[in-house]
Structure 1
């Protein structure tokens, strides 16, 4: 027998007709191919969807917050008021309510209640925000808070996309595994009698 035809001859094995095409796996099931394809789709969703969702949601939240900022700035203004009575200093930690009085730009005198430091004396000045009706209110939202809100919503949107992709991947894997186990059980029910019969001879 020549060295060319010997099984121990060096060199790559000679191809034959029964070889699988390059890049394919004969043991790969349809569920495996679907899982691989679906994983690529989910990866594409992550790459494109996370920045798109974060940017879209963040900008929308920021623009909405800025509209609130402009509206509140237009509807509220800060005034200097005077405390109308002494405030007890029994609790040095928390602020105490106090009656105050101020004069609007149109000359109207108004009164209200706000929280001041304990021990504040009568006649002391405090700065408060009031609305167009002269009622004491909170300070208007500022641009820093609007930006923070936009960033927060953007990050939450990105995390939502990531969580959705992970949930989809886990649900798909669970459904495919259940199907595979069912197929394995069915196939084993067919093969097991033939397999056991080999050891009874």
Structure 2
């Protein structure tokens, strides 16, 4: 019994430029699409890496500019915290509290109203980040935020490109299979005689 040809041989036989007349145009086109899809998947890796690197570099510069001049001070709570109303009635979001505070900036006392995740009583203290102008601001970005942004962007581009490539291959195969099935059905009707018209 002859051995079945290897996968490499089978792939070589269905190459788009194969002169075999039994290889249909649709088969050649489908193989070409799959070859291009493999190339797209491979090329997407370095491209996604380059985009992720650019995103990381931009994130580093942006975060450095945003965090420049931020200073942490100790603020004194001047009134009991008030629970902020929330639109979520199912408790999925954590409670937030609003509290007035007083702090020193540039040798002058300043006041502000901030939000806290936990309630504070009047007279207690809390850490507060302020910007170059002495206004309350967000805490500096965590270490690794720029790297996480760069990696996330690169992976997102890679996954999206792979999904688009897979969808293109699937759609192409589905359309070609549908066209081939319709053609086979037409040819089968031409070969078969209508029922009741057979002759001996």
Common fold by TM > 0.5: yes
Q: Which runs of 5+ in 2 are unaligned?
A: 1-11, 84-93
How far has the Cα of 1:86 moved from its partner? 4.5
Q: Return the match for 1:28 from 16, 23, 32.
A: 23
Deviations 1:53-104 (A, max 9, x none): 3212311221221122111121532222122235589xxx945322111111
Superposition RMSD in Å: 3.1
Q: Return the match for 1:45 from 40, 44, 47.
A: 40
3-state DSSP of counterpart to 1:85:
coil
Q: Which runs of 5+ in 1 are unaligned?
A: 1-21
TM-score (normalised: structure 1)? 0.72
Q: Residues of 2 paired with 1:188 and 1:109: CA distance?
A: 92
Q: Report what 1:4 is aligned to.
A: none
Q: Report what 1:108 is aligned to.
A: 108
TM-score (normalised: structure 2)? 0.73
Q: Report what 1:161 is aligned to.
A: 161
CA contact (8 A) 2:70 2:131 kept: yes
Q: Return the match for 1:70 from 58, 64, 72.
A: 64
CA contact (8 A) 1:86 1:119 kept: yes
How far has the Cα of 1:159 moved from its partner? 0.7
